[in-house]
């Protein structure tokens, strides 16, 4: 007999050919170890075994008996094969029916003792078991698919739970080969069951209670690894050397005096936190959080001003439009320094356009360089960089921060200041963003208006257009946001309730219209507002920046856009933000869109249209709440953490994802991880754990 090992490919297991292997790969499973770590997402309770005479209608149960008759019947009308069997035990007999599984008769034959689990259904020709889970009883092994709690797994087409379950059970004894890597004291303190038992019990639990215990262990494990990873990252960073920037009181006082407004207390407080960090010889790694319009740029500008007296500052933003806007803003705020701009399409030093090569050659002259990704990607070699500012940082995750660190790693590491208007729920601040210190601007500049937010029902659309026309007459401008570029039709897959298989049947394809930018633009331009000047902008357009600039200069009345408009755009003359298909966006994102208006002195409005005209709880939350942080917490509660900042694509294990909602658990685990690292910063005493953290780091990509 072949001996299975953890590292063996699934392809080496019996009767798995190329086709099957591909399906396993589709689920991200290649080795036997992966299979053991492919956890069920629920269980079907087939543990109740009854005599046939005691079967009750519409109740799930298991019966065991002998097949006395079995046939495949083809129904030509419905083009289906029905397998019908009669099963008998010492109390009676019952019919069992399966659809489109003619191969069943290869395995289930008259005379065989079988175990069937399913629901008793009543049809026109009497009672029968409909599509029960089945297996031939054996004296050598306990049932796998019936007569117990059976695991239901994440599946793919033509690879259902039954197959996954079969192979998982086959290799389950290998669970004993998995070495425990969580320190014993920690297991004990948290009442966790050990790894091998957890693997066995998560797949084939005797009770729901023990399955839950197994799940708890893995949730703990994943969060624990995440914490160790994040905290190690943090410790590593703190050991680096950075330039010490002494607080320059006169410089900052003069700057503050030159501003056309008074700083808010929150701006002062956060700026002070930053100045204190800059005075240290280890690098700052701080996240500045503040709602849209709370005035983060000025705070960043103060930090830049200080550092740029003696060193260089890099200011990175996610889009070209934003780079240009910041370039202008910073030039206005900071006089007497050399400020550069670098994006993929344009480079400038102060007011002069230069070739990118020239800018790179003359980089030693520049005090503050503002740019997009080009800043890190284009062999830009600063000669004495001491501060990196990253705006709208939710676009850059831990991974990218680590990359930045590597890029700039020479003699000393620059201080890092990242900024975001997308509030980070507390649970995430302590996990995914756990390597950062956080400063919060929790106060808006005085006199900020409340943006009137309304969900517009389909029959009020005309009125909304009339309102917009009026605003434009008054000289204002309008944004219209749509979720997609082109009309798209979305295919919906579903789970077949009977076989628990994922199906995409062409006849059942549901098509759903999504409002599209192009369509909307044409409609508004030709039908609704033929007399107004309308522009369109989306991610695929080449001359986005020109359109944006023209819009800012009032060459257009209405700008129809995809979500590219989301970040940081500042056009104070716009007073209406109209969002089509608003139900398709997350709350945090909707709040960002809304923040595009109300930036000037005019009363502003946000109109929400939903795809199906319904008022979802999310949209209602938006109309009632103007605080981005509360909205983020709500969004997290409603949609889960997966919706945040690409966390879904992060490769973070499912259980960790679910536990990302559990603040007390996160706090507890963070404490314990900290304690462990304080005693043993390099995990020297725990080589297996160290290895696991490394593996964890390689498998996730938080960006
Ligand atoms: P965000 O935090 O969204 O990046 P900005 O830094 O772009 O916000 O600031 C939004 C607007 O508010 C800018 O026009 C800025 O000049 C102005 N602003 C910043 N701080 C104050 C303040 N303390 N009082 C009044 N206006 C301010
Ligand atoms: Mg900003």
Name the band, by pLDDT with cuts 50, 70 and 90, for residue 650: low
**Rounded (10°) angle between helices 628-639 and 587-594:** 150
Please say if the pLDDT value at position 200 is more than 70: yes
Residues 40-68: tens digit of each pLDDT: 999 999 999 999 999 999 999 999 999 99
Q: Beta partners for 149?
A: 45
Domains of the chain are 1-40+153-178 (1.10.150), 48-147 (2.40.50.140), 249-279+295-420 (3.40.50.300), 452-625 (3.40.50.300)
Residue nearest to atom 18 of ligand 1 (CA): 295
574 CB near ligand 1 (under 6 Å): no
Residue 434: what pLDDT? 83
Contact (Cβ atoms closer than 8 angstroms) between residue 577 and residue 607: yes
Q: Which residue has the tokens 């994440």?
A: 154
**What's the pLDDT score for residue 409?**
55
State pLDDT tens for residues 498-511.
544 444 333 333 33
Q: Which atom of ligand 1 is nearest to the CA of 595?
A: 3
Nearest ligand 1 atom, CA 391: 4
If you measure from the C-alpha of residue 330 to the centroid of ligand 1, how many angstroms do you get, rounded to a whole number?
A: 12
Task: For ligand 1, say whether the CB of 596 is within 6 Å of any of its atoms.
Answer: no
Q: Which atom of ligand 1 is nearest to the CA of 299?
A: 6
Tell me, in angstroms, the distance from the centre of ligand 2 to residue 514's CA: 30
Cβ–ligand 1 distance for 330 under 6 Å, the answer: no
pLDDT reported for residue 291: 85
| Mean pLDDT score of the chain | 87
- The CB of 562 under 6 Å from ligand 1? The reply is no
Judged by its nearest atom, the ligand closest to the C-alpha of residue 393 is: 2
Rg (C-alpha) for the chain, rounded Å, is 31
Q: How high is the pLDDT of residue 642?
A: 64
Question: Which pLDDT score is estimated for 566?
Answer: 57
Nearest CA owner, ligand 1 atom 1: 293
pLDDT digits over 376-404, tens only? Answer: 765 788 888 999 999 876 555 555 666 66
Residue 574 has pLDDT above 50, yes or no: yes
Around ion ligand 2, residues with a beta carbon closer than 5 Å are 568
pTM here is 0.74
444 C-beta closer than 6 A to ligand 1: no
CA of 261 to the centre of ligand 1 (A): 9
Which residues, including other chains, have CB under 8 Å from residue 258's CB and lie 6 or more apart? none
pLDDT of residue 428: 79
CA 248 to chain centre: 41
Mean pLDDT of 482-497: 53
pLDDT (0 to 100) of residue 634: 81
User: Which ligand sits closest to the CA of 329?
Assistant: 1
Atom of ligand 1 nearest to the CA of 329: 16
Residue 290 beta carbon below 6 angstroms from any ligand 1 atom: yes
How far does the centroid of ligand 2 lie from the alpha carbon of residue 293, in Å?
7
- Asked if pLDDT for residue 259 goes beyond 70, the answer is yes
Model pLDDT, residue 635: 78
Position 407 pLDDT exceeds 50: yes
Residue 139 falls in which region: left (phi positive, over 0), alpha (psi -120 to 50) or beta:
alpha
Is the distance from the beta carbon of residue 263 to the nearest atom of ligand 1 less than 6 Å?
A: yes
Task: Find out whether 401 and 638 touch, Cβ atoms under 8 Å.
Answer: no
pLDDT recorded at residue 306: 97
Q: For residue 277, what pLDDT is reported? A: 97
Which comes out higher in pLDDT, residue 261 or 429?
261
Helix (H) or strand (E) holding 70, with range, is strand 60-75
* Residues 97-132 pLDDT 10s: 999 999 999 999 999 999 999 999 998 889 999 999
């Amino acid at each position: 007999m072949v001996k299975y090992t953890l590292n063996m490919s699934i392809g080496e297991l019996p009767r798995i050919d190329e086709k099957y292997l591909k399906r396993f790969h589709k689920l991200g499973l290649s080795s036997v170890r992966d299979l053991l770590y492919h956890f069920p997402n629920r269980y079907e309770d087939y543990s109740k075994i009854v005599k046939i005479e005691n079967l009750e209608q519409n109740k799930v149960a298991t019966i065991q008996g002998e097949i006395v008759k079995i046939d495949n019947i083809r129904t030509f009308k419905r083009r289906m094969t029905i397998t019908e069997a009669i099963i008998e035990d010492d109390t009676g007999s019952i019919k069992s029916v399966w659809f489109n599984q003619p191969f069943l008769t290869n395995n289930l034959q008259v005379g065989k003792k079988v175990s069937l689990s399913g629901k008793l259904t009543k049809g026109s020709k009497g009672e029968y078991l409909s599509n029960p889970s089945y297996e031939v009883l054996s004296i050598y092994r306990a049932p796998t698919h019936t007569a117990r709690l059976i695991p239901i797994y994440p599946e793919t087409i033509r690879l259902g739970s039954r197959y996954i379950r079969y192979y998982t059970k086959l290799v389950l004894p290998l669970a004993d080969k998995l070495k425990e890597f969580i320190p014993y004291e920690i297991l004990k303190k948290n009442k966790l069951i050990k790894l091998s038992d957890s693997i066995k019990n998560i797949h084939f639990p005797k009770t729901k209670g023990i399955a839950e215990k197994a799940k708890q262990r893995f949730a703990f494990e994943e969060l624990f690894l995440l914490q160790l990873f994040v905290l190690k990252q943090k410790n590593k960073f703190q050991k680096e050397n950075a330039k010490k920037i002494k607080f320059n009181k006169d410089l900052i006082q003069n700057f503050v005096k030159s501003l056309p407004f008074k700083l808010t207390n929150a701006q002062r407080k956060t700026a002070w936190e930053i100045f204190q960090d800059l005075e240290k010889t280890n690098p700052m790694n701080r996240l500045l959080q503040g709602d849209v319009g709370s005035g983060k740029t000025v705070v960043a500008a103060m930090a830049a001003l200080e550092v740029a007296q003696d060193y260089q500052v890099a200011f990175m933003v996610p889009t070209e439009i934003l780079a240009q806007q910041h370039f202008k803003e910073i030039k206005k705020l900071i006089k007497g320094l050399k400020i550069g701009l670098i994006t993929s399409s344009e480079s400038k030093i102060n007011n002069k356009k230069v070739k990118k090569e020239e800018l790179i050659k003359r980089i030693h002259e520049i005090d503050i360089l503002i740019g997009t990704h080009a800043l890190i990607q284009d062999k830009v070699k600063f000669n004495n960089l001491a501060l990196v500012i990253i705006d709208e940082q939710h676009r850059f995750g831990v991974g990218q921060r680590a990359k930045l660190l590597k890029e700039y790693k020479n003699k000393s590491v620059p201080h890092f200041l990242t900024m975001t208007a997308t509030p980070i729920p507390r649970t995430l601040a302590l996990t995914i963003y756990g390597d950062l210190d956080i400063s919060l601007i929790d106060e808006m500049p005085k006199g900020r208006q409340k943006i009137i937010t309304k969900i517009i029902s389909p029959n009020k659309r005309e009125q909304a257009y009339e309102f917009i026309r009026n605003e434009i007459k008054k000289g204002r401008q309008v944004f219209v946001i749509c979720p997609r570029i082109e009309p798209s039709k979305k295919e919906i897959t579903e789970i077949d309730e009977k076989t628990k298989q994922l199906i995409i049947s062409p006849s059942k394809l549901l098509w759903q219209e999504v409002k599209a930018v192009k369509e909307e633009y044409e409609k508004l331009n030709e039908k609704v507002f033929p007399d107004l000047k309308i522009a369109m902008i989306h991610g695929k357009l080449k001359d986005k920046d020109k359109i944006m600039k023209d819009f800012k200069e009032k060459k257009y009345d209405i700008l129809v856009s995809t979500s590219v408009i989301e970040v940081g755009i500042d056009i104070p003359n716009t007073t209406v933000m109209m969002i089509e298909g608003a139900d398709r966006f997350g709350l945090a994102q909707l709040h960002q869109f809304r923040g595009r208006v109300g930036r000037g002195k005019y009363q502003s409005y946000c109109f929400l249209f939903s795809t199906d005209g319904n008022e979802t709880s999310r949209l209602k939350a938006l109309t009632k709440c103007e605080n981005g942080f509360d909205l983020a917490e709500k969004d997290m509660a409603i949609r889960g953490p997966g919706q945040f900042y690409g966390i879904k694509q992060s490769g973070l294990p499912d259980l960790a994802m679910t536990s990302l909602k559990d603040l007390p658990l996160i706090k507890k685990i963070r404490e314990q991880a900290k304690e462990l690292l304080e005693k043993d910063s390099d995990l020297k005493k725990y080589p297996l754990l160290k290895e696991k953290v490394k593996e964890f780091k390689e498998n996730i990509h938080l960006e």
